Amino acid sequence: MYLNMMFSAAWYLIPIFIFAVIIKSAWFKGVMGEWQVNLLIKFFLDKNDYHLIKNVTLPTDDGTTQIDHIVVSKYGIFVVETKNMKGWIFGSENQKQWTQQIFKHKSKFQNPLHQNYKHVKTLEACLNAKNDSIFSVIIFIGDSTFKTKMPENVRFARGGIEYIKSKIDIIFNTEELTSVIEQIESGRLERSYKTNRQHVKHVRKIIEEKFDIKACSKCSSDMVLRKPTKGKNAGNEFWGCSAFPKCRNVVEIG
């Protein structure tokens, strides 16, 4: 009887445990960050002047690139990259990597301006548009604080909306605006699980080619790409020895 009660109680705990793992995952943080930016755009940008296109996957010469949000208006096209992070953020426009610090722990992540540059150039090529009509915008969401002076187009939460609204010179007329929206919608890949998985596979291939690490420098075992789902390094990929825990050699990406 007692064992049955314990077993029944354990079944109730399983969904709670799964939910706790999910909400701490990098995927969930990314989804929540994009959702919050969606709300900011819908509440603080007039839908009569700004048209939102979400989760756009575009083909490139070597695969695909995925854009969180594209805001199209007569004042230009805004390519928005979302970062849902906490802690102190250090970075500058020209640094390849920025730093996130949570208490005494520091970790590196790709400069989002460089990340968004490919998005902008891909969209520019797809639309055959002038480079002064497309603007890169980085919006940070979450409990984070900039500890260094950031470029004008890197903002926190509603500040990103204010940056978009700061562009007041008219670039597109009504006919051109309609054409831009139609080109993006017709040029994007179908929104599906398959499209997303192919994009993830492409990104992983780029990482593997960029960081050509095949054998452990300490024991010669294979190195494998790992991505923790919890702890201070959650979501940050690194190369770890396949012989772990016997060999604990790691190589950080970047």
pLDDT tens-digit readout, 41-96: 999 999 999 999 998 998 887 778 889 899 999 999 999 999 999 999 999 999 99
Are 41 and 71 a contacting pair, CB within 8 Å? yes
What proportion of the chain, given as a percentage, has pLDDT over 90? Answer: 44
Q: Is residue 219 part of a domain?
A: yes
Q: Residue 4 domain-assigned?
A: no
For the chain, count helices (H), then strands (E): 6, 12
Mean pLDDT of the residues in the chain = 80
Please, what's the b/e burial string for 82-116 (b: 16 or more CB within 10 A of its CB; e: otherwise)? Answer: bbbbebbbbbeeeeeebbbeeeeeebebebbbeeb
Which pLDDT belongs to residue 74?
A: 97
- Say if residue 191 is in the same domain as residue 84: yes
Residues of the domain holding 122: 20-203
Q: Tell which wins on pLDDT, 237 or 75.
A: 75
When pLDDT is cut at 50, 70 and 90, the band that residue 130 belongs to is confident
DSSP code at position 111: -
In-domain check, residue 6: no
